[in-house]
Structure 1
Amino acid sequence: MTAGPTGSPRTRRALLELAALAVVISGTLLVLGFLVGTPWRPLLFRDGDSLALPLILQSFAEGRPAAWVMTSQLFLFPELPVFGAAWLLTGGDPAAALAVNAVLNVVLLYGVLRMLARRLVAARHRRLRPAAALAGIAVLLALCLTEGRALNNEGALATTFLLTTYYYGAVLTGLAGLAVALGALRERRPAARPLLLVGAAVSATTLSDPLLLVQFVGPLLVVLVVLLMLALAAPRAVLVVAGTVLGAAALGAALRIPLGFLIGTDAGGYLRLPLAGTALDDLIVQFLVLKAPLIGKLEVALLGLLLLAALAVVVAGAARVARGAALDEAARARFAVCAFLPAQTAVLLVVQVFTGSSVSRYLMPIPVTATVVVIALIGAAAAHRRNAGTRLTPVVRVVAPLAAAGLVVAAVPATAAVASAAAGARSDPDAGCLERWIDGRELAGVGSFWSTRPLDLYGPASLHVQQVNFDFTVQLWMNNLSDYRDRQYSFVLADRSPDWAGLARGTLGDPSDIVACGGFDIYDYAGTDGETELNRIVQSSVEEQRRERGY
């Protein structure tokens, strides 16, 4: 008797993949449900950088003139398409879209890990591939739970990948490019189509985020040199892969030139060599603070073990080659990805120090790449067992579906917690205080980057607040220059840290009234000389930027 359609191998594989995807989504929602009940919640819903994409789409939806200026990152690919999908799925609800974007980050990573699992786990153990990719996701989510200090710039690593709408794009492109490179290196004459696709992705991502150069291109070149030295890849294949990646990155960098009017600061603005010593000291302090609590020790231990395991695979592989032993395709791929993690770690740390940066989020690729090492270790373990992964034991056949079902069920209340947090993102006591003070009047004001952006995104249409620098000139940093024009600014949102009250009094004089609103005070300059001076500074800087950028 032949099996029916539902019993065909193809159908079973499809059901297995759908089940794995359900596990990924459920696990991510469980972690999100926990994190939105901690101090990490503002990073997801109110972080100034993450709000760039919802502000852009909200501006487009409202038909406002577009004169956007970003940072060195443009968020064009893949961040904008991914968040656009989240925006459509949630009907344009910005907070809900931010939560969905977090889930999509992990789902896309799972897809990339599945690509890598095809290279790292031999074909005879193909049933292990979904489980290996799931193990990588589990490690990443576990690392997110170990980061108890809700400080995105001081010790946060894995959580940055999960909770933000930026930086993850270069990591995903890099790992997808690594998977394609592993496939190309198997052949003496690599197929053109996969390399063209990865070249297009590298170009688009470099155009959007030059961090790809240090997160992926640099470490990949190091690995290619090692593979060439050990004769683990054909010279022609190495040259083709290196040429494709370098050429694509150069094209992406060149395409940034005509888009200079969109770039708030170029990559050179981040080079601060005199601060290298300070950056090194800060990173050491962050490491010591990170590992002080028990949960921090777990994160450091897990990442350290994965890094040591990667180095062990590299050393063992090099020793086998030195003895004249041959490595099969999967073993060569495992050698390459295990060499990639220490290469990437070294490149990122060197760049971090010599650019004078002490911001830990730039090291976020390290824990994400470490998940690939998990897959490599599973593939290596399977290779040491003659028939590993070819048959599932009765215990696994029973326990695995039950565990997956339990995870899906447990995700239901977590999903409700995330939805509740998203619904509550609009309600903020400080914002409510400001709205009551405005009371329907057509007023406009200015404030810091951190105070104004959530108000701009979640506030009513009658609320007009724009971000400015300490000298009250326009601050063009992931915002729309056209939003400053045709406004009469009459108040300042004076944050407590840093002291915007002192800045306001020093530049604009004494206000006519001060209203306390918790996190900030409203300095009302209506009818004073300070109002005239504020508008002179803002509008003159608007016109200067408009001429400089051609808007």
Structure 2
Amino acid sequence: MPRWARELLGVATALAISVAVVAATASSPRSELLFRDGDSLVTSLVIHSLAVAQPQDWAMSSVLFLPEIAVLWALSLFGLGTDGTLTLAGVVNLVALYGALRVAAGASAIARAPIAGALVGLGVFGAVAATEWSPSRDALELASLTTTTTYYSATVVGAVLAVGLVRRGIDRVRSRAGGSDAGSRSAVPWGAVAGVGAVAAASVLSNPLFAAWATVPLALVLAIVGLSERAAWWLAGGLVAGSILGFVGRMPLAHLIANTGAGYADPTQWAASLDYYGALLAERWSAPWGAASVIVIALLWGWCVSACVLLVRRRDVGAAVVAACGWVVPLVVVVGAIALGTHAARYLQPVVFAPLLGLVVLPELLPRALPAARRGTVVGATAVALTAAVALGIPRIAATAPDADLACVVDWVGKSGRTGAGQFWTVRLPKTHLADPRALVQVDHELRGYAWLVNRDDFGVGEVSFLVIDAQTPAFALPGERTMTDAALVPCGRYTIADFGDEALPLGPQRS
């Protein structure tokens, strides 16, 4: 079968897996994180703000979501609506992860069955994601976070891609040298050096967490490989230089960063951090299928250690680097997260995606006598997988019940022609679904502009005339002598609109 046909079949199979995984996530309680979580909607809010030609003055976290926003904007051109676009983005994220795994699996001319290895990795990742059903962003359910646009999906893909580019560079040098250690010491894989530098620069520019997930652990691995492979030093140099360039590139964007993230680290809290992550692990272990997923990840981590040893003995340096990253990256990230006293499950995503690297090198270690798959069998299996995913997955996604309460708020606000406000966890979902997101302003309980993951241009309106509240809204302390009893209450299911009519409520100064 021609190489292009094999690659196309690999992408088609990856698409089938991705549709199935997103369908499972979208039809489970985890859909709360995909479609309705306040944090998850920031990229959609950016797209809608751009669509109405609003001046852009965002208050972001340390993560700028630049690749995610660019992809979501392109997907929004299909006109699928907010939920449809987010669903499509989840599929694209997983297909992109397959692409990164495919790069890490090596070139077809050098590696053995690289497409199969990448598909096995994505399949296991998808199986783990499909077992994650908690609606909580704080659960230790890390694989399904890649289906969202705001929990570092681009950083996940970038980290795996960086490992893959390093492997390609080392493989290319050794291939040109005929596998000779002496011949490979003087060559420099300039293309791979530039590529890994570009990935690092773009990733750090958007999310400095890339430095912890990829730059530090991969540089450690390359430093050891550099004892026998000169190319490793060049690749490590490209990785570090690109990361530094990414940090420099963030300086002109400092006005967009409301929180640098420095406050999230407190090394004195390492014991509390250990207890926190331990409690999350215990909770995950007790969840349905949770123990199975934990065991799978643990086995993959152990396999990465074994595969690394076997590949080093075979002097397959490129594949050994990939396998080494499969166990070094999670180890460095977990130890670092605890040592810094962090308390956020999303920081530990490498625990799930990095061990997949052990699967992409699995074909290299299988017996050479295995029979080759026939073309008809491969094409048929791919067609069946894609058809099943589309036939079963899309109806499950489309069957999501409409949110009548949300529609009530959106319709009322749209017809009012006025501007209202609400607190972070309450207002962001209705705000995202409005034709013009400026009609709802994000405030705190004292009606001060809450400048967090929102366009600060919203606060220029100066005053509002109604409030959107729900069960999780803390009680408002309104300015002057106004109280909530002065408002006419409009019920919208789980929401209530407190309408003050012609009486304007002035917005207080911004806070973050």
Equivalent position to 1:202, from 190, 200, 211: 200
d(CA) in 2 for partners of 1:467 and 1:209? Answer: 24
What is residue 333 of structure 1 aligned with on the other side?
A: 318
Residue 370 (structure 1) aligned with residue 351 (structure 2): no
Whether contact under 8 Å (1:154, 1:359) holds in the other structure is no
* Secondary structure at the counterpart of residue 113 of structure 1: helix
What is residue 153 of structure 1 aligned with on the other side?
A: 138
Whether contact under 8 Å (1:467, 1:474) holds in the other structure is yes
- Quickly say closer, same or farther: Cα 1:468–1:369, change in 2 above 3 A: same
- Quickly say closer, same or farther: Cα 1:286–1:462, change in 2 above 3 A: closer
What is residue 541 of structure 1 aligned with on the other side?
A: 510
d(CA) in 2 for partners of 1:496 and 1:272? Answer: 33
What is residue 65 of structure 1 aligned with on the other side?
A: 55
Shift of 1:140: 0.7
Residue 42 (structure 1) aligned with residue 32 (structure 2): yes
Equivalent position to 1:91, from 76, 79, 90: 79
- Quickly say closer, same or farther: Cα 1:27–1:314, change in 2 above 3 A: closer
What is residue 444 of structure 2 aligned with on the other side?
A: 469
Equivalent position to 1:501, from 475, 480, 495: 475
Letter in 1 for 2:81: D
How high is the TM-score relative to the length of structure 1? 0.83
* Secondary structure at the counterpart of residue 291 of structure 1: helix
Shift of 1:417: 2.3
How high is the TM-score relative to the length of structure 2? 0.89
- Quickly say closer, same or farther: Cα 1:356–1:467, change in 2 above 3 A: farther
d(CA) in 2 for partners of 1:184 and 1:17? Answer: 20
d(CA) in 1 for partners of 2:443 and 2:507? Answer: 13
Whether contact under 8 Å (1:146, 1:299) holds in the other structure is yes
Shift of 1:386: 3.8
* Secondary structure at the counterpart of residue 440 of structure 1: helix
What is residue 176 of structure 2 aligned with on the other side?
A: none
Whether contact under 8 Å (2:445, 2:475) holds in the other structure is no
Shift of 1:53: 2.1
Residue 313 (structure 1) aligned with residue 307 (structure 2): yes
Shift of 1:526: 4.4
Equivalent position to 2:395, from 402, 417, 431: 417
Shift of 1:99: 1.2
d(CA) in 1 for partners of 2:500 and 2:270? Answer: 43
* Secondary structure at the counterpart of residue 65 of structure 1: coil
Residue 291 (structure 1) aligned with residue 285 (structure 2): yes
- Quickly say closer, same or farther: Cα 1:276–1:503, change in 2 above 3 A: farther
* Secondary structure at the counterpart of residue 156 of structure 1: coil
Residue 342 (structure 1) aligned with residue 364 (structure 2): no
% identical equivalent positions: 27
Residue 80 (structure 1) aligned with residue 55 (structure 2): no
**Pairs within 5 Å for 1:146-225:** 146-186=131-171, 187=173, 188=185, 189-225=187-223
- Quickly say closer, same or farther: Cα 1:317–1:431, change in 2 above 3 A: closer
What is residue 26 of structure 1 aligned with on the other side?
A: 16
Letter in 2 for 1:407: A
Whether contact under 8 Å (2:45, 2:437) holds in the other structure is no
* Secondary structure at the counterpart of residue 231 of structure 2: helix
CA displacement 1:464-485 (0-9 Å, x = unmatched): 2122234432222222111221
Whether contact under 8 Å (2:65, 2:207) holds in the other structure is yes
Whether contact under 8 Å (2:19, 2:394) holds in the other structure is no
Letter in 2 for 1:410: A
* Secondary structure at the counterpart of residue 466 of structure 1: strand
- Quickly say closer, same or farther: Cα 1:507–1:258, change in 2 above 3 A: farther
Q: Which runs of 5+ in 2 are unaligned?
A: 174-184
Letter in 1 for 2:289: I
Equivalent position to 1:456, from 428, 431, 443: 431
Shift of 1:458: 1.1
* Secondary structure at the counterpart of residue 343 of structure 2: coil
Letter in 2 for 1:115: V
d(CA) in 1 for partners of 2:80 and 2:130? Answer: 29
- Quickly say closer, same or farther: Cα 1:387–1:436, change in 2 above 3 A: closer
- Quickly say closer, same or farther: Cα 1:470–1:273, change in 2 above 3 A: farther
What is residue 392 of structure 1 aligned with on the other side?
A: 372
d(CA) in 2 for partners of 1:271 and 1:58? Answer: 33
Shift of 1:260: 0.7
CA displacement 1:435-466 (0-9 Å, x = unmatched): 56557223222222222222112124498212
Letter in 2 for 1:455: P
- Quickly say closer, same or farther: Cα 1:461–1:79, change in 2 above 3 A: closer
d(CA) in 2 for partners of 1:106 and 1:20? Answer: 13
- Quickly say closer, same or farther: Cα 1:251–1:43, change in 2 above 3 A: same
Residue 114 (structure 1) aligned with residue 94 (structure 2): no
Letter in 2 for 1:198: V
- Quickly say closer, same or farther: Cα 1:276–1:421, change in 2 above 3 A: farther
Residue 270 (structure 1) aligned with residue 269 (structure 2): no
- Quickly say closer, same or farther: Cα 1:471–1:16, change in 2 above 3 A: same
Shift of 1:418: 5.5
Residue 446 (structure 1) aligned with residue 421 (structure 2): yes
- Quickly say closer, same or farther: Cα 1:363–1:487, change in 2 above 3 A: same
- Quickly say closer, same or farther: Cα 1:541–1:508, change in 2 above 3 A: farther
Give the aligned CA root-mean-square deviation in angstroms: 2.8
Whether contact under 8 Å (1:132, 1:375) holds in the other structure is yes
What is residue 225 of structure 2 aligned with on the other side?
A: 227
Shift of 1:421: 5.3
d(CA) in 1 for partners of 2:396 and 2:97? Answer: 21
- Quickly say closer, same or farther: Cα 1:280–1:503, change in 2 above 3 A: farther
What is residue 180 of structure 2 aligned with on the other side?
A: none
d(CA) in 2 for partners of 1:92 and 1:468? Answer: 29
What is residue 324 of structure 1 aligned with on the other side?
A: none
What is residue 5 of structure 1 aligned with on the other side?
A: none
Q: Which runs of 5+ in 1 are unaligned?
A: 1-8, 321-326, 546-551
Aligned residue pair count: 498
d(CA) in 1 for partners of 2:3 and 2:109? Answer: 17
d(CA) in 2 for partners of 1:347 and 1:471? Answer: 42
- Quickly say closer, same or farther: Cα 1:332–1:445, change in 2 above 3 A: same
* Secondary structure at the counterpart of residue 259 of structure 1: helix
d(CA) in 1 for partners of 2:311 and 2:378? Answer: 33
- Quickly say closer, same or farther: Cα 1:521–1:351, change in 2 above 3 A: farther
* Secondary structure at the counterpart of residue 118 of structure 1: coil
The more displaced of 516-525 and 137-146 is: 516-525
